[in-house]
């Protein structure tokens, strides 16, 4: 580049001569700074400003203004106290003046999420709004002979009637609502669900002074209706136009009220950007659905939005299901759903600086098609990134990917006071990194509930959980307890590393196989470099475990688990559960815990008995192994009757399709017998750990094996005045070259070599 008027001077005064700038610095300018600056300049001007679609140019108000109004039954005109900034063509929502029933469905016994119209199965009448402007009714047939029903008007939190006889005449519920069943084939588990609302949603056709003429008439005369803007139709039209014209969308600062969500269908490439993540608000508190839904398409960026729902933590039915009278699980929040963002089969999605609160579904949710083994669908989600987003004060999940979509990254986000899972994912190649989590639900990996053979080819729930901060406790369904990081039911290749736990009064990290016939076991995980402060602050100490491993092929290393101050007997630092094999636990520092390291064994019950050597595993937690596995060949079975040992057997094989165990010898069995399984070579290597100040430093209560080693560990009494023995053991564990300090009392002889 020549000197002269066109010379770019970056980082130095305009009067500095070229010869005064060191050649290395000039090269850095030319090779690094200037190319980046040029790229930024090009990016800034690549899209002409007029190419962006401003939603304010599409009759979208973004106004928080509201006023009171008087309505007349049968009239389209309402008289407002103040016409404010209302304009012709804008949408409005008016409270109290249109009692009606909406979302009326008849759900079959086999599917509590069915959405068949109610049709003529029942009639409804009489809603008077006396108990609120929005009630959710659930009416379920729960008896056949005689025909009875139960009903709720608070999303199954309480049942107002439990065995009400069906009269096939008008029967009262609440708020003046009556229901009349029609004679038909009713079965236990049939459900009728509906919304009782008093809100009129319409559009302004004329403004004359303080009189607004609407497109729709009120059905009730009231003097104190509340009139507010309603922007979802105008926003939807703007989005549809932008997709068609291949334009990006700008949403200025404002408060955009929605009664239903905005759908972005099949975009080639679109950016939907608000002015700021604080002042650009999508408010669905008076509606149902998802603020923004992405359906198909190639590339979408959503940026700088705040999205508000209607159900904060503890304000709804909670993140739990109830059992229908046909034995199905039903999650009641689906009767009044609200969410921030839903992604379905959009190929690439980037979400930045978007913040969700008061959502009762998954705040950020992805679900769609995915690869199955070597087959690949024509379109599916291949990449989702959430950057600097948040989910706070939500009754539901924070982030969720409910299928096997790939490459989801949750980066530098904040999840606080979330009643469901912080993150739930069966999806592949997930990164949950650099986030802050407090008083929220589990980071749940797996939960896939499938043993499909293709899941053994590509796997599922591969996760990296790294560099996060977890503070306080695990909160699920508005109740404390449970693990904050949990891999189970098919998760494979999971890394949990370098996380900080601050004053943690719930369980920490759990890697367990999942023990029923719906799931493949979890395996191939690493738990390393975590610092876990398990001190209870400001509330009673709860029984909790820092790290629990019950899956095979797991490494636990370089973690610190401690309690500040005196030993807390409610804390177990590391729990290891057989029949896991190939465990390495090394270089961990465990301090002031009730239990340092403990081992135990999973068990199950005998189910169906095929013959004297063959039985099916029933209820329990023994993993039902994968097709490509040891299949328990040559493993041992320990039997129990009345909680007492009742002999040993050797397994010939395990069938991962039928779940049948076949023994090498005959065995007199009966359904319900308890059994444990353990390997002849477990391959446990616990070495070079420091355990100090623990009331019970080491307790081996499992079976062990000839390859179960505990070696080169340092065990010190420290300040644990109630400690009696350094090591207690009841199985085959080889204790080699351990250094034990402070356990020199006569009644507690220390074991250092075996």
**Chain segment 673-689, per-residue pLDDT in tens:** 999 999 999 999 999 99
**Chain segment 267-278, per-residue pLDDT in tens:** 999 999 999 999
**Following DSSP, what letter does each residue of 473-523 receive, concatenated?**
EEEETTEE-SEEEEEETT-EEEEEES-EEES--SEEEEE----STT-PPPE
The pLDDT of residue 515 is 65
Q: How many helices (H) and strands (E) does the chain have?
A: 3, 67
Work out the pLDDT band at 719, boundaries 50, 70, 90.
confident
Q: Which residue has the tokens 């962006």?
A: 52
Work out the pLDDT band at 50, boundaries 50, 70, 90.
low
Q: Mean pLDDT check: name the lowest of 92-96, 523-527, 579-583, 639-643.
A: 639-643
Work out the pLDDT band at 480, boundaries 50, 70, 90.
confident
Q: What does pLDDT average to over the chain? A: 90
The residue-averaged pLDDT of 305-325 equals: 93
**Chain segment 342-399, per-residue pLDDT in tens:** 999 999 999 999 999 999 999 999 999 988 888 899 999 999 999 999 999 999 999 9
Work out the pLDDT band at 60, boundaries 50, 70, 90.
very high
**Chain segment 187-211, per-residue pLDDT in tens:** 999 999 999 999 999 999 999 999 9
448 or 165: which carries more pLDDT confidence? 165
Per-residue exposure over 563-599, b if at least 16 CB sit within 10 Å of its own CB, e if not: beeebbbbbbbbbbbbbbbbbebbebbbbbbbbbbbb
The residue-averaged pLDDT of 721-730 equals: 87
The pLDDT of residue 721 is 81
**Chain segment 528-573, per-residue pLDDT in tens:** 999 999 999 999 999 999 999 999 999 999 999 999 999 999 999 9
Work out the pLDDT band at 588, boundaries 50, 70, 90.
very high
Q: Which residue has the tokens 């599922």?
A: 460
The residue-averaged pLDDT of 105-115 equals: 93
Residue 705 CA to residue 648 CA, distance in Å, equals 15
The pLDDT of residue 48 is 41
CA distances from 559 to 445, 533, 609, 694 (A): 21, 11, 44, 16
The pLDDT of residue 447 is 83
Flag whether pLDDT at 45 surpasses 80. no
Would you list the domain boundaries of the chain? 21-49, 100-197, 261-325+338-441
3-state helix, strand, coil in the chain (%, to 5): 5, 45, 45
Strand duo 636-641 + 644-655: pairing: antiparallel
Work out the pLDDT band at 437, boundaries 50, 70, 90.
very high
The pLDDT of residue 747 is 37
Sign of the CA dihedral 555, 557, 560, 563?
positive
**Chain segment 5-22, per-residue pLDDT in tens:** 333 333 333 333 333 444
Cβ pair 509, 465 in contact under 8 A: no
The pLDDT of residue 192 is 97
CATH class of segment(s) 261-325+338-441:
mainly beta
What pTM, to 2 d.p., does this model score?
A: 0.90
Residue 342 CA to residue 295 CA, distance in Å, equals 8
């Amino acid at each position: 580049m020549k000197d002269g008027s066109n010379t770019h001077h970056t980082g130095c005064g305009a009067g500095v001569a070229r010869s005064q700038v060191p050649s290395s610095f000039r090269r850095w300018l030319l090779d690094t700074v200037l190319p980046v600056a040029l790229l930024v300049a090009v990016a800034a001007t690549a899209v002409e400003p007029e190419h962006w679609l401003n939603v304010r140019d599409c009759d979208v108000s973004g106004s928080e203004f509201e006023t009171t109004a008087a309505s007349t039954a049968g009239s389209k005109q309402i008289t407002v106290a103040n016409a404010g900034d209302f304009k012709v063509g804008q949408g409005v929502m008016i409270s109290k003046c249109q009692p009606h029933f909406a979302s009326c469905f008849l759900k079959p016994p086999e599917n509590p999420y069915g959405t068949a119209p109610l049709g003529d199965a029942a009639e409804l009448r009489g809603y008077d709004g006396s108990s609120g402007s929005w009630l959710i009714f659930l009416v379920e047939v729960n008896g056949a002979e005689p025909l009875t029903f139960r009903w709720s008007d608070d999303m199954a939190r309480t049942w107002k009637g439990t065995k009400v006889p069906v009269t096939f005449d008008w029967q009262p519920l609440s708020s003046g609502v009556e229901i009349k069943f029609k004679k038909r084939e009713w079965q236990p588990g049939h459900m009728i669900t509906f919304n009782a609302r008093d809100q009129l949603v319409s559009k302004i056709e004329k403004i004359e002074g303080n009189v607004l003429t609407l497109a729709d008439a009120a059905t009730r005369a009231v003097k104190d209706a509340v009139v507010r803007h309603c922007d979802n139709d105008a926003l939807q039209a703007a989005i549809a136009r932008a997709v068609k014209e291949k334009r990006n969308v700008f949403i200025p600062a404002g408060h955009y009220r929605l009664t239903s969500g905005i759908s972005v269908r099949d975009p080639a490439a679109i950016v939907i950007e608000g002015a700021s993540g604080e002042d650009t608000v999508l408010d669905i508190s008076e509606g149902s659905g998802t603020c923004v839904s992405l359906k198909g398409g190639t590339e979408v960026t959503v940026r700088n939005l705040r999205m508000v729902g209607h159900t904060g933590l503890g304000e709804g039915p909670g993140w739990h299901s109830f059992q229908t009278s046909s034995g199905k699980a039903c999650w009641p929040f689906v009767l009044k759903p609200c969410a921030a963002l839903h992604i379905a089969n959009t190929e690439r999605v980037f979400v930045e600086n978007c913040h969700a609160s008061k959502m009762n579904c998954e705040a950020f949710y992805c679900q769609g098609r995915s690869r199955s083994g070597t087959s690949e669908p024509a379109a599916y989600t291949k990449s989702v990134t959430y950057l600097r987003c948040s989910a706070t004060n939500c009754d539901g999940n924070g982030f969720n990917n409910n299928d096997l979509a790939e490459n989801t990254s949750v980066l530098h986000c904040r999840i606080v006071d979330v009643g469901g899972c912080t993150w739930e994912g069966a999806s592949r190649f997930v990164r949950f990194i650099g986030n802050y989590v407090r008083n929220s639900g589990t980071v749940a990996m797996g939960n896939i509930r499938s043993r499909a053979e293709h899941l053994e080819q590509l796997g599922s729930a591969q996760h990296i959980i790294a560099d996060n901060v977890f503070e306080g406790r695990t909160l699920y369904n508005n109740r404390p307890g449970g693990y904050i990081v949990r891999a189970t039911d098919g998760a494979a290749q999971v890394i949990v590393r370098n996380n900080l736990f601050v004053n943690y009064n719930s369980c920490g990290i759990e890697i367990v196989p999942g023990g029923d016939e719906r799931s493949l076991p979890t395996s191939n995980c690493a738990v390393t470099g975590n610092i876990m402060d398990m001190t209870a602050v400001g509330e009673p100490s709860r029984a909790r475990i820092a790290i629990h491993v019950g899956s095979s092929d797991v490494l636990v290393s370089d973690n610190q688990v401690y309690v500040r101050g005196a030993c807390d007997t409610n804390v177990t630092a590391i729990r290891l559960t057989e029949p896991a094999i190939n465990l390495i636990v090394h270089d961990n520092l465990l301090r002031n815990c009730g239990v340092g390291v403990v081992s135990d064994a999973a068990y199950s019950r005998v189910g169906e008995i095929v013959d004297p050597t063959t039985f099916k595993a029933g209820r329990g937690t023994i993993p039902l192994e994968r097709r490509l596995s040891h299949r328990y060949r040559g493993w041992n079975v320990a039997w129990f009757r009345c909680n007492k040992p009742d002999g040993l057997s050797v397994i010939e094989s395990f069938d991962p399709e039928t779940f049948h165990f076949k023994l090498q010898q005959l065995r007199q069995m009966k359904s319900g017998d308890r059994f444990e399984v353990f390997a002849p070579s477990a391959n446990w290597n616990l070495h070079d750990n420091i355990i100090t100040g623990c009331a019970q430093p080491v307790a081996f209560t499992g079976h062990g094996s000839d390859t179960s080693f505990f070696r080169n560990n340092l065990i010190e009494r420290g300040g644990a005045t109630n400690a009696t023995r350094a090591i207690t053991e009841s199985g085959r564990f080889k204790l080699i070259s351990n250094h034990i300090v402070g356990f020199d009392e006569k009644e507690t002889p220390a074991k250092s070599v075996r």
